[in-house]
Amino acid sequence: MSLIIVLCCIIGLVLLISWGKVNPFISFLIIAIITGLLLKMPVNKIADSLQKGMGDTLSSLAIIVSLGAMLGKLVAETGVAQKIASEVMNIAGIKNIQWALAFTGFVVGIPLFYPVAFVLMIPLIFSVVYKYKLPAVYVGLPMLASLSVTHGFLPPHPSPSALVMMFHANMGTTLLYGICIAIPAIIIAGPLYSSTLKNITSSSLQTFQSKEITADKLPSAFTSFFVALLPVLLIAIASVLPLLFHDKNVIAICAFVSEPSILMLIALITATSAIGFRTGKSIKELMSAYAESVKDIAMILLIFGGAGSFKQILSDSGVSNEIANALQSLHLQPLILAWLIAAIIRVCVGSATVAGLTTAGIILPMMNQPGINPSLMVLSIGAGSLMFSHVNDIGFWMFKEYFNLSVKDTIRSWSVMESIVSIIGLMGVLLFNLFI
């Protein structure tokens, strides 16, 4: 009965937004309350869940999304994105731009937290789109497929790392298997699938649309790449230094710098100094541009918060555990069962991390069975946790709002891409299981 309620509420959410034309943020709140009532949650706890879900979501996203929008505005207006796009196109050529961006997304996605990588790469995607008059979804989906795969499959991202610890898997082995499985998943879900989506029209938020700057006024290639990839460099440095120096102070500083909000702030300050002031912009002009960039993403943040409230209602009602426990009685191969449980929780709850960790708690007692490879179990759950991202997932709304797409086109592109990644991931896990 709980599953039917959840499915009906999700359908209601889709209809409210697409057919009823109700603002997504308001739709989330309405459906979240209705879901809580139908699942017989205490009335006083529904309001607490709404506030907790929004607070938890925005506490982790508000700073990095806002700082990312500011950095994106600076990158767009100073010619950094234009210079990077020009360099990438010179190396890869227009015919290979999808593959170049997919590779870039994979490299950047391994160390970077997903929302940070997403907002950091959006200006690059749209600078290529506007400069070379290419379809945005066709160009951008391969890079975002790479970011999604690294987020769900590979340590050091939160869910895979937690699963490695819970199953006592080897981190290096899991990463190696994960990369081998990730490559075909990215190729199929990225460049190959996006080639069928050239007819989807999209235009970015105004904050990422840069004016064409003459070549002599563009920053150098080194400065442009340094500014854009500074968060990646900070993560790499913060990861390597503790291995070289075992001093407690060094470890503490590295842990502080590697926090997404801190590294984005450092990146913005550095970019302001290295690019903003050097292009002749005053502090007043820069701060005005930053304020405009935040206005553009204000509604996006509210939608994220609404999605977080809906997710919290589903979590606090216990419906995800109820569904998963019912599935545990099925007699399936453990790797397939783990993928299926994670996939269904993901579809119902919307969070890949919640789906992964919830599934791990259910599967953990089964790990004593002989023949179950813990690294493959991590990857199977990770693949399942990416299955069919839709209206209750924050990633869905990030893609929709940043690319200015309809719900229908977002499902056709983003949701199907995520499903392909999930299914190819499972196939790769099962193939590895035959030989390991």
Query: Residue 307's pLDDT is what?
Result: 81
Q: Dig out the tokens for 232 from the structure.
A: 């990646």
Which residues touch 75 (CB under 8 Å, ≥6 apart)? 81, 123, 124, 210, 227, 228, 271, 275
Look up the domain containing 15 and give its range: 2-435
Residue-wise pLDDT for 279-337, tens only, equals 778 898 899 989 988 887 788 788 878 888 888 898 888 886 776 666 667 778 889 99
Q: Which residue has the higher pLDDT, 411 or 115?
A: 411
What average pLDDT does this structure show over 212-238? 78
Query: Residue 419's pLDDT is what?
Result: 97
The answer to whether the CB of 28 falls within 8 A of the CB of 309 is yes
Q: Which residue has the higher pLDDT, 1 or 9?
A: 9
Query: Over 60: is that where the pLDDT of 210 sits?
Result: no
Q: Which residue has the higher pLDDT, 267 or 81?
A: 267
Q: Angle 108-188-395 (CA atoms, 0-180°, nearest 5)?
A: 55
Per-residue CA distances from 218 to 86, 290, 429 (Å) = 11, 20, 46
Q: How many whole angstroms separate alpha carbon 343 and alpha carbon 359?
A: 9
pTM, whole model, 2 decimals? 0.73
* 64 — pLDDT class (breaks 50, 70, 90): confident
The answer to whether the CB of 345 falls within 8 A of the CB of 320 is yes
* 369 — pLDDT class (breaks 50, 70, 90): confident
Query: Over 80: is that where the pLDDT of 258 sits?
Result: no
Q: Dig out the tokens for 290 from the structure.
A: 């930053």
Q: Dig out the tokens for 315 from the structure.
A: 């979590």
Query: Residue 207's pLDDT is what?
Result: 59
Among the ranges 101-105, 267-271, 364-368, 423-427, which has the highest mean pLDDT value?
423-427
Q: Which residue has the higher pLDDT, 287 or 205?
A: 287
Query: Residue 157's pLDDT is what?
Result: 78
Structurally, how many domains does the chain consist of?
1
Query: Over 90: is that where the pLDDT of 374 sits?
Result: yes
Query: Over 90: is that where the pLDDT of 396 sits?
Result: yes
Q: How many whole angstroms separate alpha carbon 134 and alpha carbon 126?
A: 9
Query: Residue 118's pLDDT is what?
Result: 86
Residue-wise pLDDT for 241-250, tens only, equals 888 888 889 8
Query: Residue 209's pLDDT is what?
Result: 55
C-alpha R_g of the chain:
22
The answer to whether the CB of 13 falls within 8 A of the CB of 31 is yes
134: number of Cβ within 10 Å? 17
* 113 — pLDDT class (breaks 50, 70, 90): low
Torsion of CA 309, 311, 314, 320, to 10 degrees: -160
The answer to whether the CB of 176 falls within 8 A of the CB of 378 is no
Query: Residue 320's pLDDT is what?
Result: 65
Q: Dig out the tokens for 393 from the structure.
A: 């997932």
Q: How many whole angstroms separate alpha carbon 170 and alpha carbon 379?
A: 12
pLDDT, averaged across the chain: 85
Q: How many whole angstroms separate alpha carbon 294 and alpha carbon 43?
A: 35
Query: Residue 380's pLDDT is what?
Result: 97
Q: Dig out the tokens for 16 from the structure.
A: 């409210």
Query: Residue 192's pLDDT is what?
Result: 97
Query: Residue 50's pLDDT is what?
Result: 94
